Structure 1
Amino acid sequence: MSVSSLARRACVLGLSALLLPLAHAAPTVLKDVVGRQVKVDLPAKRVLLGFYFEDYMAIGGEKAFDRVVGFSREAWEGWRPANWALFSAHRPSLKDLPDVGEVEAQTFSVEKVLALKPDVLILAEWQYKGLGPDVERLEAAGVPVVVVDYNMELPAHHEASTLLLGRIAGEEARARTIATEYRTAVRQVETRIAQAHLPKPRFYVEFGNKGPAEYSFSYGKGMWGQLGVLAGGENIAAPYVEWYGPMNPEKVLASRPEVIFIAGTESTRNPTAMLMGQGVDPAQSARRLQAFTQRAGWSELPAVKNQRVHGLYQGASRTVVDYTMVQYMAKAMYPTLFKDVDPQANYTRFYQRYLPVLAKGSFGLGL
């Protein structure tokens, strides 16, 4: 064999040796937030999102959505219509993404998921629990399911979920930065409150989707209940509501909350519902919020007497950026400790840094 032939053969063998690990790379084993070991080819090229759409885009960058092949549309467009309109106007291709249905409405379709051949299906923990045996069907068909969680409002889950999404999207450094910002903000709140040695204010949170005439969900564990606990408050709903559900109006009056929070979305389906969020005029939010203070018996509550009634954006909970809602609730409950903190500015700044659209509207306000 000639010298030139040997050289060519060596070159081909060397190139093959370089390409072989790429072609046959072993899947990465991820540990999700419920402790499951899941094998996923990373970075994933075909991603299906059940929830946390903004978080995935913030952590992975907009380009991460180039690899999203389907999603649960109702959980974005139906629940947060103005937010959906903002993102879909910027990125019209979102409107063309296949919809696999929504877990709570029991329209989620295993068959639609399988037809999209995703490399990974990302589910919120509540979706994972809601699907039950369908998760086993998906995994048996070769679809890895990774569970993440921002709903429980546990800092450890927030950080782990952020890092998981970063690994799936191939943006681990960006994910670490966002996770560090979250951890730093929450610890700052906790540290200041711990050092002040002040009594914990009693707070009440309600999702104001039914308007003042009917008491809607309050929160025990998770979501706004846990956010308020992180913010240093005593949740009056905790003895009566395990996860979420309405409190008896008499129990609210008897508990005499010192601070009240009413959460709302951009939805206009109910003309008296609390209105908060993207594109909402703060003056309109204030008018809706004021109406809740007119409920029977509320004029005698310490929170109403002292004008410590606040509106919150429901869409700013159960997300990595809800550290800004921890800041807002902490400032409402301990105003002297957080004069230098501007939670709404921090919320809009997160969008400026990590998302391709701007947050403009009403995200947190008091009477």
Structure 2
Amino acid sequence: MFTKQLNNKWLASLVLAAGAMAAAAQAAAATIEDVLGRKVEVELPAKRVVLGFYAEDYMAIGSEQAFDHVVGLSRETWEGWRPASWALYTQHRPGLKDIPDVGEVEAQTFSVEKVLALKPDVVVLADWQYKGLGLDVDRLEQAKVPVVVVDYNAQTVERHVASTRIIGELTGQQARAEQIAGDYQQAIVQIQQRVKAANKPKPRIYVEFGNKGPAEYSFTYGKNMWGAMATMAGGDNIAAPYVEWWGPINPEQVLASKPEVVVFSGTESGKSATAMLMGQGVERATAVERLQGFTQRAGWSELPAVKNKRVYAVYQGASRTILDASMVQFLAKALYPDLFADLNPEQNYLDFYKKYLPVQPQGTFTASLAE
């Protein structure tokens, strides 16, 4: 009887040891180099993640199952900034609403205490969030919480690819990440090779966030987001000498620069009743009507872009993401219509959802005054 009890205890110990070994095999310490070149030790794949930004990217690269391990979310960057997208995803996956909110960096509501209470394996931040948090990052690291920085806002091939691979490592989806990163690189290389081979003068382009409507100029973009994408697509960004990242530009400077292509970005809502509307649930006729309103600004009738109906609209939510290769395609087609007549950028954008995401948006994501 005593021997039998010992054998049972020995077998139980073996089972526990095997379970511990399996758990260790599933999550092992590894060193990740983030986009800032920081070496960060993380248990991979991460089981408890606080996500600051890039929720769609995290889901596309890591698969929907990656959100089974997201224990905290900066909810304002999704629900507040893109409410129609949030509604679409929460209708599909209601449990997203139950993920604790840790606050938002720009609004200064981000709470280190809330993050620590969630006992995360890792906190994933956008570059702008990491910089905005300042000393609060030190508090997280002093509490032995790894912080990994990714960056799609820079709109460079290097950072897009690096960020995608990092998310692939964090979620254990390296092969999926390589496929997505490879598709992105291929799309950008195709654009740049065609533009280079054509050897044409770079068309002057102006991009503005149309959230304030025609009556008030909103901010434009210099080195990042739509500014970087316009440059990547082969355009001469008229704002680049005057705006470093994003911010307002003197309206007189826009008129003096005589842009040949003008692009307004928009979301599903805006600060004005005449704001540029784009995105989920937006009718194409409505988008084109709003776009037309911007051409009525004082002095704009003389702009080459307006005279030639080369005025376009894009979805703001389709920037600063691995999904935005199609938006670079759209800008390239607006700049060089003869070089990219074979591309259907909006369909390519929607096809990414079909391939990598569990929802399918319906609405208007690109538009043209010529429609």
| TM-score bracket, shorter-length normalisation | over 0.9
Please show how residues 300-311 of structure 1 align to structure 2 within 5 Å: 300-311=302-313
Distance 2:125 2:349 in 1: 24
The whole-number CA distance in structure 2 between the counterparts of 1:26 and 1:181 is 29
| Counterpart position of 2:235 | 233
Equivalents in 2 of 1:19, 1:107: separation in Å?
Answer: 39
- Give the match for residue 294 of structure 2: 292
Q: 1:258 aligns with which of 257, 260, 280?
A: 260
Distance 1:269 1:88, change over 3 A: farther
Q: Aligned pair in 2 of structure 1 residues 32, 282: CA closer, same or farther (>3 Å)? A: same
Shift of 1:359: 1.9
Aligned to 1:89: 91
CA distance in 2, matches of 1:209, 1:308: 20
Shift of 1:179: 0.4
Instruction: Check whether the contact 1:79–1:267 (CA below 8 A) recurs between aligned residues.
Output: no
Kindly state the Cα deviation for residue 270 of structure 1 after the two structures are TM-superposed.
2.3
Q: May I ask how many residue pairs the two structures share in their alignment?
A: 363
- Letter of the structure 2 residue corresponding to residue 354 of structure 1: Y
The partner residue of 2:196 within 181, 184, 194 is 194
* 1:214-265 alpha-carbon deviations (Å, 9 max, x no partner): 1111000110000000100000001110111111000000000000000000
> What secondary structure is seen at the aligned counterpart in 2 of 1:335?
coil
Greater shift, 13-22 or 240-249, is seen at 13-22
Amino acid at match of 1:292: F
Change beyond 3 A, Cα 1:216–1:268: closer
CA distance in 2, matches of 1:135, 1:280: 39
Paired residue type of 1:173: A
Where in structure 2 are the equivalents of 1:40-189 lying within 5 Å? 40-189=42-191
CA separation in 1, counterparts of 2:273 and 2:192? 38
Report the Cα offset of residue 23 of structure 1. 3.6
Q: What RMSD over aligned residues (CA atoms) do the two structures have, in Å? A: 2.0
Are positions 1:242 and 2:244 aligned together?
yes
Change (3 A) 1:17 1:72: closer
Q: What SS is found at the alignment partner of 1:41?
A: strand
Gaps in structure 2 of 5+ consecutive residues:
none
SS of the residue corresponding to residue 215 of structure 1 reads: coil
Q: CA deviation at 1:12?
A: 7.7
Q: Give the deviation of 1:95 after TM superposition.
A: 1.0
What amino acid is the match of 1:230?
A: M
1:252 alignment partner AA: V
Q: Displacement, 1:288?
A: 0.6
| Contact 2:214–2:294 under 8 Å retained in 1 | yes
Aligned to 1:366: 368
Residue 360 of structure 1, CA deviation: 1.3
What SS does structure 1 have at the residue aligned with 2:169?
helix
Q: Specify the code of the residue in structure 1 equivalent to 2:183.
A: E
Mapped partners of 1:55, 1:289: distance in 2: 29
Distance 1:167 1:50 in 2: 17
Deviations 1:95-114 (A, max 9, x none): 11110000011110000100
Kindly provide the CA deviation profile for residues 28-74 of structure 1, in whole angstroms up to 9, marking residues without a partner as x.
00000000000100000011110000000001111111111110111
- 2:208 aligns with 206
CA distance in structure 2 between the partners assigned to 1:132 and 1:191 by the alignment: 40
The percent of aligned pairs where both chains have the same amino acid is 64
* 2-structure distance, mates of 1:216, 1:64: 36
* Contact preservation (8 Å) 1:125, 1:149: yes
> Quick check: 2:28–2:45 contact (8 Å CA) kept in 1?
no
Q: Runs of 4 or more off by more than 6 Å in structure 1?
A: 8-15
* Distance in 2 separating the partners of 1:363 and 1:27: 41
Paired residue secondary structure (1:273): coil
CA distance in 1, matches of 2:68, 2:283: 33
Is residue 182–residue 323 contact of structure 1 (8 Å, CA) maintained in 2?
A: yes
Q: Would the aligned equivalents of 1:70 and 1:100 in 2 still touch at CA under 8 Å? A: yes
